[in-house]
Amino acid sequence: MSNPIIKIVNLETDEVIVRAMTDEEFAASEQAAKEHEAVVEKNQEIEKAKLDKKAELLARLGLTEEEAKLLLS
């Protein structure tokens, strides 16, 4: 299987180069995609933890989400 095609545009000269990625570029692209996915997963875990803490706090206070929104509006 050949590497993906990339397009490089020089905005100063309007030169356009369309070519296949080198093996190094492709490997770097794959690594960047993996790192991005890891960051996305970590952010999702953080958001879930925040929502869980909010739900726990509301339960301890004996409030529903709607009541809390009303108090904060």
Does 1 have pLDDT greater than 80?
no
Q: Are 21 and 5 in contact (CB under 8 A)?
A: yes
Q: Which residue range is the domain that position 63 belongs to? A: 5-72
Q: Are 5 and 19 in contact (CB under 8 A)?
A: yes
User: How much is the mean pLDDT over the chain?
Assistant: 95
Q: How many domains does the chain have?
A: 1
Does 54 have pLDDT greater than 90?
yes
pLDDT, tens digit, for every residue of 8-34?
999 999 999 999 999 999 999 999 999
pLDDT at 2: 87
pLDDT at 37: 98
Strand partners, 20: 5
